Structure formats: C-alpha cells, structure tokens
Amino acid sequence: MSSSNGKLESRIPAGALDEKWAKRKSELKLVAPNNRRKFTIVVVGTGLAGASAAASLGEMGYNVIVVCIQDSARRAHSIAAQGGINAAKNYPNDNDSVFRLFYDTIKGGDFRAREANTYRLAEVSNNIIDQCVAQGVPFAREYGGLLANRTFGGAQVSRTFYARGQTGQQLLLGAYGALMRQVDAGRVKLLPRREMLDLVVVDGVARGVVTRNLITGAYERYAGHAVLLCTGGYGNVFYLSTNAKASNVTAAWRAHKRGAFFANPCYTQIHPTCIPVSGDHQSKLTLMSESLRNDGRVWVPMKAGDKRPPNDIPEEERDYYLERKYPSFGNMVPRDVASRNAKMVCDEGRGVGPSGLAVYLDFRDAIQRDGIETIRSKYGNLFHMYEKITGENPYQVPMRIYPAVHYTMGGLWVNYDLESTVPGLFVLGEANFSDHGANRLGASALMQGLADGYFVLPYTLPGHLAGRKLGDVDTDHEAFKAAEKEARERTNKLLAVKGSRTVDSFHRELGLIMWNHCGMARNRKGLEEALQKIPALREAFWKDVRVLGEGEDLNQELEKAGRVADFMEFAELMVRDALHREESCGGHFREEYQTEEGEAKRDDENFRYVAAWEFQGVGKPAELHKEALEFENVELTQRSYK
C-alpha cells in the first residue's frame, strides 16, 4: 500500500466558513440561458438527488437524459425514508441556527467530514423546506397551519420536518413531479428499466454511459457533456440491509474502475432500530423510524438469560441502558452509539426474543402519559407495519429491535463542486462521500440528497461546462464501442458459467463474511480473515454460479449476478479500508481502539483524513490517497452524549 496526496484537490474556497459557498458561487462560470440547450447531461438514478438535479437542470434549459433501474422514476429507494428532514429554520424558537445544524452534523460524523461541505449543507437546508412546501409536500402542521417539527438523534433542538412516517416518499414524489414536468416540457428524456454498466471516458472526461435495457436486453449508449451519478449506497454488500433489493454498487464501482476514487468505503451506518432477523429465508430487513425513540424507551433485562415475557419483568429488574449511560441524550443518542450499545448488551447475554439478538423498544410509559390515540397519530403506520411483519401488537408488548445495515457514508470521492476525480463525472447524494463523515445523523440523508440536486450541482455544473473545452463526442466514438463490448462480454461470461449455485447463495455468503468481520465491530484478525475469504468466494462465484436463460429479455437472475459480481470486488476494498484505519470513529468501530467505557476512540493525529482509493486492478490492493481534513471552526473533541 503506497500513499500520496497529490491527486486530490478539494477546491474548498478560502475564507470564513460562512462565506465559502457565496465565494465559490461568485467564482463559478455561467452558461447563458440560450446556450444551455447545446449541452446534454446524463443523469443516472432518480432518487432524491437524481430527480432533483435532473428536474432543476431541465428547468434551467439543459437537455437531460435520465436512466433509472426501476419501472418508474418514482420508485427509487429514497421513497422508503421514514422519519424526516433536518433544516435550520428555528421555527420552534429553541435556539437553532445554521451553525448548530452544521456543528451537530460534523460532530455526529465524528469529525471525519469536511467542514466546508457540511456547513454548506446546513446553509441550504432552509431553501429545501421552502421548495418542497411549494411543491405541495404535505409536511406535518400545527393547528395554526404552520409547520411542525420533532427531535431526532444527536440533536438537542427540534429541527426535523416530517410527513407522518413517509417523509422520503413525499419528498421523492415532489421531486418526481418536478421531473415529470420537465419530461412534459421536452427537456428531460426519461428512460426507466435501464442499468448503467459502464462509464464512458473520452480524453479524460466523462462523456456518457453504457446501459442495458432490462426488458429487451439491448445495450444502449448515451452521450453527453457531463455524467451525474446519483445511484445511492452500497449497503447491500451485506446482503441483509434495509436497502431495496435493487440497490447496488455497480454504477459507482464501474466508475471507480474508470478512474473515480472511492472514499472511506468502510464507513457504514448500522441503524439501531430495525426488526430483528427471523430466519434463514429473510430477504431484507425493515427499519423502524428513529423517531420512535422520541417516545419509546430502550431496555433489556438486568439479568442475563431472563426469558420472562417483557411485561412480567418488574421495573427494578429492567436496564434502560441508554438513559442510564447517556443522561443528557438518553434514547436520542446518535445511531452509531445506540447500535453499539445494543450489541454490547446482547453480547452480555441480555438480548431478548427467540434469537437473543434484540432489545426492547417500549411504549408503555408513553401510552400511559399521552394516551393511546396520541401515540397512534404519531406512529400508527409504523406500529401497523411492525405488527404485519412480526405478528405482535406493539401497543401491548414492547417492540423488539436490533441494529441493521442502513446507509453508507462512504462513496465516490468528490471535491467541493461534487466532481469526482474523473472530470465531468459528478456524484450526488448517498453515492458520494462528502457530508456525513463516519456517521450520519438521522434526517440528514434527505437533506443532503436534495441539497446536492436542487441547490449545489446546478451552480457547480456550469463550471465544468463553461470552463473546459468539450469537443463533440457521439455514441459512435471508439470509447463507447469499447465500453459496450466489455459490458457484453461480462454478461456473456456470467451466462456461460452454468454452474450449480444460485446468485443469492453467493450473495448471502458474502454478506455473512462482511457482517461478521466488517460489521458493527471490526478487528485486525477478522478483517484479515475476510481478506482471505472474499477472493476465494469470488473465484467460486465465477466458477460455479448458475444463471439460467438468455441475455435478450427480462432476466432478473442475470441482473442480480452482475451486481453480486461487483459486490465481490468492492467488498475487498471495503475491508482493506477498515483494516488500514487503525482508529474507531462513528460507524467504524475497531475493537482495538476504544475508550475504557467502550466508546469509539479516534486517532486525530494519524487518521484525520479522507481515505480515497485508486483502482489498480481486480484483486490488487488499491492505491491510497489522503485528503487531510482541516478543522478551523470546531474543536475536535471526544464525542460525548452523556
């Protein structure tokens, strides 16, 4: 492993924190309205980031081509976000501000994000709420008709805007509506059921993509002057996660192989409140919104192995461990802290339920205090969902919850303008690495996706379009032909294996390696073991995977096989990143590096940097590049939520 930092230029503007974005905007070049139609922008993905960016660019007058994997742009996985979206409006008058939102976010990220990016995120947060309300997003309101707020983890103010337990759905439908308006206007060409299989780079600049039409199997080429990757996170490398089944790393990974550096891949978020695994048949995990921790109390029995039904365990024999250990934040500690503590009590043998891998989230006291109707109006849909999945009534018995993979803070490296190390390739939303550091606070993912798409990229993209000489490139260019050929060969290779094992069986096995060795807690021995197991599994996959059918029609096994093949390569990078980072921070918990109380122990002297990895070939260690993180406005402290 060699390292250098020559290739990373973050382009963070000089000057005071609160003037950086204004300064950058004033420097950026513009494209005049009547010239915009001469530029074509290719957008991959229609979640909050992709839909908001594509709609905004269409409104400005660019030609936009959008591809998405689902049958409709409205189904991207942003739709499943439940709890809310943060903004620094300070409507509740509880002394919130842009600075506080910035500070909570950067501290929540365990000081592993860029100050400038995180501040900008907080700065534009208020515009997002304005935009969404104008689109008709039905946020929760008070009787006086004004917007309501609630509290989320890692904050001591109420700054989260929400739409029942369906905030992601309502925000996405707003962005999807804006996108469809541009389709109607002829500015956006929308192509669903396409999977990006390669990025096309011409003269060092991203100029398009190769996709496979999932219905006809046809390979298609789309050329433009810039490519926007808005393809979400890679949590499904664990097989079991709260991500949608089609969520994958393929688009990001193929871009990585074409020169985009991958940053901090080991930063994964394990969400504390998910429904526990019930059996081997399990295909995905379901999140129960963090907002439930506003009223639910987390506990386990005092004694290990206490198998009594929860309601038979008297008050004095319950351990409300978060309230006990973190009196000022209590049940509202950030996600990484809550998850780690759940694991600790289960490791002590105090876990509950048939598997012993669960803790209680109890609404008994909230129901007594506020009445069942109040609780129903706040969380009715979540309680309903819980009952459907588990067959238990959470109004009567406490919910059982356990941490599950939920979000990935790592992603393709981007500079302040959201541009990757491949010029012309911009990366937005969860697919980039930039704003959340080593742990993301609740209600910040929606904020970042929409900030990037509505209010950052539309300003920074013209810097590329007007700032570089972009020659004419069409889809007959050699680079397109070569990329398509490679994509075809890869697909044919998968079909030609004709082995004996299903794609899912390989994916499950990979997921288990990752969960056991690179999950909630990691150590050198386990990570080194994973580095042995992954290449062996990858080899077995290419020798023995069974993909039936042909490549010329809808073939869902073939789609999965391509994605799992990429996860098999990506997993190795993730483990290497976890191994090299010899500290604990946020969601990356290395057992060797913890405080006496079992909290994450950072090493700011040696690891206060972004690890950006450059691809060197499959199975070959990637080259590490370091971007030092400068903190001029916050003091690096041991995070405390006590």
Partner 1 sequence: MSESTMKLTLKIWRQSSAASAGRLETYELDDVSSDMSFLEMLDILNTQLIEKGEEPVAFDHDCREGICGMCGCMINGKAHGLERGTTLCQLHMRKFNSGDTLVIEPWRAKAFPLVKDLVVDRSAFDRIIEAGGYISVSTGSAPEANGLPIPRDCSELAFDAAACIGCGACVASCKNASAMLFVSAKVSQFALLPQGQPERQRRVLRMVEAMDNEGFGNCTNEFECEAACPKEISVSNIARMNREFLGASIKAT
CB of 564 to partner 1, least distance (A): 14
According to the binding rule CB under 8 A, does residue 91 interact with partner 1? yes
Q: DSSP letter string over 500-561?
A: SB-HHHHHHHHHHHHHHHHSSSB-HHHHHHHHHHHHHHHHHHHHHB---S-SSS--HHHHHH
CB of 88 to partner 1, least distance (A): 12
Using CB under 8 A, which of 35, 127, 213, 355 touches partner 1?
Answer: 127
Identify which range of 4-12, 26-34, 139-147, 198-206 contacts partner 1 by CB under 8 A: 139-147
CB of 301 to partner 1, least distance (A): 21
Using CB under 8 A, which of 181, 477, 490, 601 touches partner 1?
Answer: 181
* CA proximity to 299, closest of 399, 367, 370, 375: 399
Give me the helix-helix angle, 115-134 and 20-27, nearest 10°: 80
Identify which range of 31-39, 64-72, 333-341, 466-474 contacts partner 1 by CB under 8 A: 64-72
Using CB under 8 A, which of 32, 34, 93, 279 touches partner 1?
Answer: 279
And the tokens for 188? 């956006």
According to the binding rule CB under 8 A, does residue 456 interact with partner 1? no
Residue type, 483: A
Contacts of 278 (CB under 8 A, 6+ apart): 390
In the region spanning residues 404 to 443, those forming contacts with partner 1, defined by CB under 8 A, are none
In the region spanning residues 322 to 381, those forming contacts with partner 1, defined by CB under 8 A, are none
CB of 118 to partner 1, least distance (A): 22
Using CB under 8 A, which of 284, 376, 580, 601 touches partner 1?
Answer: 284
And the tokens for 268? 């994964």
Q: How many residues bind partner 1 (CB under 8 A)?
A: 84
211-214-220 Cα angle (round to 5): 30
Burial of 144-178, coded b for 16+ CB within 10 Å and e otherwise, reads: eeebbbbbbbbbebbbbbbbbbbbbbbbbbbbbeb
Q: DSSP letter string over 251-273?
A: HHHHHHHTT--EE-TT-EEEEEE
Identify which range of 166-174, 250-258, 610-618, 632-640 contacts partner 1 by CB under 8 A: 166-174
From the candidates 36, 335, 340, 508, which is the catalytic residue? 335
Identify which range of 160-168, 319-327, 408-416, 485-493 contacts partner 1 by CB under 8 A: 160-168
In the region spanning residues 494 to 523, those forming contacts with partner 1, defined by CB under 8 A, are 502, 504-505
- Annotated active-site residue 335? The verdict is yes
- Three-class secondary structure of residue 452 per DSSP: helix
Identify which range of 35-43, 75-83, 325-333, 483-491 contacts partner 1 by CB under 8 A: 75-83
According to the binding rule CB under 8 A, does residue 37 interact with partner 1? no
Q: What is the layout of strands, in order, in the sheet containing 205-213?
A: 194-202, 205-213, 219-223
Using CB under 8 A, which of 138, 327, 467, 598 touches partner 1?
Answer: 138
According to the binding rule CB under 8 A, does residue 385 interact with partner 1? yes
Task: Count CB atoms within 10 A of the CB of residue 186.
Answer: 9
CB of 140 to partner 1, least distance (A): 8
* CA proximity to 447, closest of 23, 137, 88: 88
In the region spanning residues 519 to 578, those forming contacts with partner 1, defined by CB under 8 A, are 546, 548-549, 553-554, 556-557
3-state SS record for 183-217: HHCCCEEEECCEEEEEEEEECCEEEEEEEEECCCC
According to the binding rule CB under 8 A, does residue 133 interact with partner 1? yes
Query: What residues are labeled active site?
Result: 335
